[in-house]
Structure 1
Amino acid sequence: MELTEDLARSYARIALGHVTRPYPYKDDHVFASEADVRPPRTAHPAFFGSFDWHSCVHGWWTLLTLRRLFPATPEAEEITALADETFTEEKLAVERAYLDRPEARGFERPYGWGWLLALHAEAARHQDREWGARLEPLARAFGERFAAYLPLLTYPITVGTHFNTSFALVLTRDWAGERDAALVATIDGWAETAFADRSDYRGWEPGGDEFLSPVLTAALLMSRTWPRERFAPWFEALVIDNGWLKNECEPAFVSDRSDGKIAHLDGLNLSRAWALREIASAIAPHSAVADMRALADRHFAAAEASVAGDYMGEHWLASFALLALLAPR
């Protein structure tokens, strides 16, 4: 689990190959009338590639992150040119206007919302370009949506797919930390209500199409919300004391990588590697840390070779591999 320049260039080539690939495309679009029939590029001139809107967004997060970390590579120059072409005021205004449709209230909620905020946070780090400023109106719109949505969400959504609440809130809280103190407070209060009293996890994980761990994403959110002295004993009671982490959290087997849903399990292995690394850092020093890091390595190794290959995984897996590689060691 080390992000070398060669690996970074490989991931960059993968993402460059799909963020502007228009088809196949899975559209999250509600038709109100015949007037809403249109190709994806019309509604989403910035994020029309990568099979779906959210994958295009986090494909761009991957590209900008790699540009920042490896600015001297040939791919960084190509990323810069393509980002200048993509993140224009005109194109992003169309993306923002799409959200004003009444039928777009649930568009990409919450997964795409969280990833757009992560993209904005990364774009703002590139101070030699205007990408962050141009993305900010779109990011602020999604931040406002989270602030309005969470008070209505009585129960957390704990599935291991795009509807998972905790994963999106981890990304959102990281974005809001220096930008929106009120949103941070809203997230923290919601998380407290949703998860503070949870313990002794016995969920049937993994599900056959999951790319997130329901329990580890919730734990990762709480690690952002609570100080170590409160989080560590809560995490022990959640998955360590009952043996779940030791006996149940094994890398998932992927039977068919050409099936987009089954290929999600490669993402589960990568996202677990990320979460395990992040949580291990949050509870350190703790007797479980070394085992958790070793388990993270096993999960990463189970999926690493599948980041490239079939397009059903290739259009999104590099982002999750990069999350894992950037996690504390």
Structure 2
Amino acid sequence: MTTRLTPQLASRLAAIALGHVTREYPNHILHGLEGPDDARTPSELHPVFYGSYDWHSCVHGYWMLARLLRLYPDMPEAQAIRYLFGAMLVPDRVAGEGAYFDRPMARGYERPYGWGWLLKLAAELQGHEDPAWGAALSPLTERIVQRFRDFLPLATYPVRVGTHYNTAFALRLAADFAETVGDDTFFELLRATAQRWYGSDTACPAWGEPSGDDFLSPALIEAECMRRLLPAADFARWFDAFLPEIAASQPRTLFAPASVSDRSDGKIAHLDGLNISRAWCWSSLANTLTDTDPRRPVMRDAVHRHLTAGIAHVAGDYMGEHWLASFAVLDLTETK
């Protein structure tokens, strides 16, 4: 598979997502029951985001479709995407999603990964070809923004794992929303939180990477979060201290693509996502450096090797297929 986004690849990835965002089963539900009446099917619980194996994967499947439709409005799958959005991103269905988040047991539902992706989707729908889609989503968007506002001041410590609970990734996605809609107060909350959590980090050893089910690099996504939220000069100083030996390809573990032994195992298949998300981070970070910086070629080589290792496996087994294409589009459309 090519390592750049072409119309042909966009069409293939869109077809993958269209095949699963309304596929209800198999489904993994993380759902708290307050009583017997709460035992319901995925589509009863979530009128919009019930497909793609789990809620957050469905959300970023919609984000990917919105991004590809924006870039390729005449692609063969464009009409199917428009029909899907017109049928699903409507007030009544979104109200059902909002009602789920209003449940007392849903206070921490999808925190923080799903929250970040929902805001990423909302940002993508801003200024899209049909403003009704973003407008319909807005009540849920507002709930998620408020979730962040309520939670971040209470979160004394960050979560540094390479899975859904990673806090840096959520801040990174939320920052795109805050900037897109011009919410300076929200952006400043995200920035201040990142500074509080990560601002004093130096000489990152990355000794625990990769873990057996990582799809994010705790070290690299932290750096990408800080790149997105800090002023450029402040970030440059922080990055120099955080990963001071990049020119020597250290820490070595961050430069070696992960090996995936069984793509039918959902947790092990996460490692394909790790390779793709590392490529995204390395590329974003390399773009902050001058052409003569000795770190830049080392980082660009890491981009190539990780993306090559991961992008060939975005399709094939549903345990990876229901989410990996979104990460590929994130990499291929947000970095050079």
Aligned residue type for 1:231: F
User: Which of 248, 251, 262 is residue 256 of structure 1 equivalent to?
Assistant: 262
Aligned residue type for 2:83: A
Question: 1:58 Cα deviation (Å)?
Answer: 0.2
CA RMSD in angstroms comes to: 1.3
How many angstroms apart in 2 are the aligned matches of 1:128 and 1:83? 9
How many angstroms apart in 1 are the aligned matches of 2:118 and 2:209? 28
3-state SS of 1:268 partner = helix
Equivalent residues of 1:111, 1:164 under 8 A apart: yes
How many angstroms apart in 1 are the aligned matches of 2:264 and 2:130? 40
User: Which of 115, 126, 129 is residue 127 of structure 1 equivalent to?
Assistant: 129
Equivalent residues of 1:210, 1:265 under 8 A apart: yes
Higher alpha-carbon deviation: 51-60 or 230-239:
230-239
How many angstroms apart in 2 are the aligned matches of 1:50 and 1:277? 28
- 2:241 aligned partner: 237
The TM-score normalised by the length of structure 1 is 0.97
1:52-110 deviation line (CA, Å, top 9, x unaligned)? 00000000001111111011111011100111111111100100111110000010000
How many angstroms apart in 1 are the aligned matches of 2:77 and 2:71? 12
Aligned residue type for 2:130: D
1:176-204 deviation line (CA, Å, top 9, x unaligned)? 11342211111111111111110111131
Unaligned runs of 5+ in 2: none
How many angstroms apart in 2 are the aligned matches of 1:102 and 1:4? 45
Matched, 1:104 2:109: no
The TM-score normalised by the length of structure 2 is 0.95
How many angstroms apart in 2 are the aligned matches of 1:221 and 1:233? 15
Question: 1:228 Cα deviation (Å)?
Answer: 2.4
Higher alpha-carbon deviation: 241-250 or 307-316:
241-250
Equivalent residues of 1:61, 1:118 under 8 A apart: yes
User: Which of 292, 298, 306 is residue 299 of structure 1 equivalent to?
Assistant: 306
Equivalent residues of 1:256, 1:263 under 8 A apart: yes
Matched, 1:217 2:221: yes
Matched, 1:283 2:289: yes
How many angstroms apart in 2 are the aligned matches of 1:161 and 1:68? 29
- 2:333 aligned partner: 326
Aligned ranges 1:184-199 → 2 under 5 Å: 184-199=187-202
How many angstroms apart in 1 are the aligned matches of 2:250 and 2:94? 43
How many angstroms apart in 2 are the aligned matches of 1:282 and 1:141? 34
How many angstroms apart in 1 are the aligned matches of 2:162 and 2:52? 21
Equivalent residues of 1:113, 1:168 under 8 A apart: yes
Question: 1:211 Cα deviation (Å)?
Answer: 0.2
- 2:26 aligned partner: 24
Equivalent residues of 2:60, 2:118 under 8 A apart: yes
How many angstroms apart in 2 are the aligned matches of 1:9 and 1:46? 23
3-state SS of 1:248 partner = helix
Question: 1:327 Cα deviation (Å)?
Answer: 2.8
**Identity of aligned pairs, percent?**
49
Equivalent residues of 1:240, 1:246 under 8 A apart: no
Aligned ranges 1:52-71 → 2 under 5 Å: 52-71=54-73
How many angstroms apart in 2 are the aligned matches of 1:66 and 1:266? 21
- 1:181 aligned partner: 184
How many angstroms apart in 1 are the aligned matches of 2:217 and 2:331? 14
Equivalent residues of 2:21, 2:50 under 8 A apart: yes
1:94-149 deviation line (CA, Å, top 9, x unaligned)? 00111110000010000000000011111123133410111111111101110110
Question: 1:245 Cα deviation (Å)?
Answer: 4.1
